[in-house]
Amino acid sequence: MSTMLRLHDVYKAFGGNQVLTGLNFNVRQGEIVGLLGPNGCGKSTVLNVITGYCSVDRGEVEVRGERVSGMAAHQIAARSVRRTFQLPSMPARMTVEEVVMAASTASHGLLSTLWRPAAVRRLEQDTRERAHHLLDELLLTKVAHLPAASLSGGQKKLLGIACAMMEQPALLLLDEPMAGVHPNLRSELVTTLKRINGQGITLVIIEHDMHFISETCSRCIVLDKGRTVADCLPSELENHESVVEAYLGKKPGGQFQVAGAVA
C-alpha cells in the first residue's frame, strides 16, 4: 500500500523546550494507527506540525509523497487532511447543525450568498443532508439545534469529528477522541471510526485508552522524549520494553498499566 503520511527527522522546540527530537514514522494508506506516549511527550504537537498549526524546526512532513512542512494550514487542509482538537472550543452563536455545515467548503463563497441559482441551492441541500447524516452517525441529532458552545466536552469531541468528516478527507487525525466521551458510547465510536476507515479514510488516533486502541487500531506508534520508541501491534504494547520504560521511566519488572492494560 502507498504511503499516506511520512515524518522524517522532525525537530520542534518551544523556546528551550525541545519537544520533537528527530521523529520518524510512516502511515500507509488505509491504516488506523494509534499514537501513544506519556503526557507531554509531544503527541498533540505532532498533529500540529502535520497540519501546519505549527512549523517544524528541521525535518520533513510528507502527505502522499508531497512535502507539506512549510505550507500554511489551509494549504495542507486543501490536500485532504483534517484533524480534531484535544480541547475543542465551539462558537457560542452557531448551532451544532450550522457548525457542521460551515465545515463544508462547498457552501462557501460570494456566489452562494449573493446569487442563489438552483445549482447553489442544490449544493446547500446536499451539504445539509450530509451534515444531518454525520450528526446522526455521531449521536448528535438531538442537540443539532443547540448552540455549539453549550455542548458537553464529550459532545464537542463528537462534533469535532463530524466537522472533520464533512469533506470526506483522505487523512483524518484525531486528538484523544474518547476523552470525556461516556464509556457506553465507546463501542459506538469504535464502530463509527471503523466505518469511516472502511470508506478509505486513513486514521491516526491519539489515545490513552488501551482498550479503545486495541479494538480500533491496526498498529501503534509510541513516542517518548520526542521520538518513536515503539512501532508495533496493539497486542505487543504491554510487553514492549521501551513502552514500559516510557510510561514508568524504568525497565519492566513491576506492574505496568497504560490506562486499562495491565502487564
Ligand X SMILES: Nc1ncnc2c1ncn2[C@@H]1O[C@H](COP(=O)(O)OP(=O)(O)OP(=O)(O)O)[C@@H](O)[C@H]1O
Count the residues of the shown chain that bind ligand X, applying the rule CB under 6 A. 12
Q: Among all chains, which residue has been given the C-alpha cell 450568498?
A: 113
Count the residues of the shown chain that bind Mg ion, applying the rule CB under 5 A. 3
Give the contacts of 234 (CB within 8 A, at least 6 positions apart). 34, 210, 213, 214, 217, 219, 220
The conformation of residue 137, written as its DSSP 8-state character, comes to: H
The conformation of residue 143, written as its DSSP 8-state character, comes to: G
86-99: b or e for each residue (b if 16 or more CB lie within 10 Å)? Answer: bebebeeeebbbbb
Quick note: the x/- pattern for ligand X over 160-189, rule CB under 6 A, is ------------------------------
Asked if 51 interacts with ligand X (CB under 6 A), we say no
Q: What is the DSSP string of 181-232?
A: S-GGGHHHHHHHHHHHHHTT-EEEEE---HHHHHHH-SEEEEEETTEEEEEE
- Selected from 39, 184, 199, 255, the binder of ligand X by CB under 6 A is 39
- Indicate the residue among 40 and 183 with the shorter CB distance to ligand X: 40
Q: How far is the CB of 110 from ligand X (least distance, A)?
A: 34
Asked if 37 interacts with ligand X (CB under 6 A), we say yes
Are 72 and 51 contacting, i.e. CB atoms less than 8 angstroms apart? Answer: no
Question: Residue 192's binding partner, choosing from ligand X, Mg ion, none, with beta-carbon cut-off 5 to 8 A by kind?
Answer: none
d(CA 219, CA 32): 7
Asked if 86 interacts with Mg ion (CB under 5 A), we say yes
Asked if 88 interacts with ligand X (CB under 6 A), we say no
Question: Residue 42's binding partner, choosing from Mg ion, ligand X, none, with beta-carbon cut-off 5 to 8 A by kind?
Answer: ligand X
Q: How far is the CB of 72 from ligand X (least distance, A)?
A: 17
- Selected from 18, 26, 86, 168, the binder of ligand X by CB under 6 A is 86
- Selected from 7, 12, 23, 44, the binder of Mg ion by CB under 5 A is 44
Give the contacts of 14 (CB within 8 A, at least 6 positions apart). none
Are 52 and 75 contacting, i.e. CB atoms less than 8 angstroms apart? Answer: yes
The stretch among 12-20, 77-85, 161-169, 183-191 that binds ligand X (CB under 6 A) is: 12-20
Asked if 40 interacts with ligand X (CB under 6 A), we say yes
Residue ranges in contact with Mg ion by CB under 5 A: 43-44, 86
Residue ranges in contact with ligand X by CB under 6 A: 14, 17, 19, 37, 39-45, 86
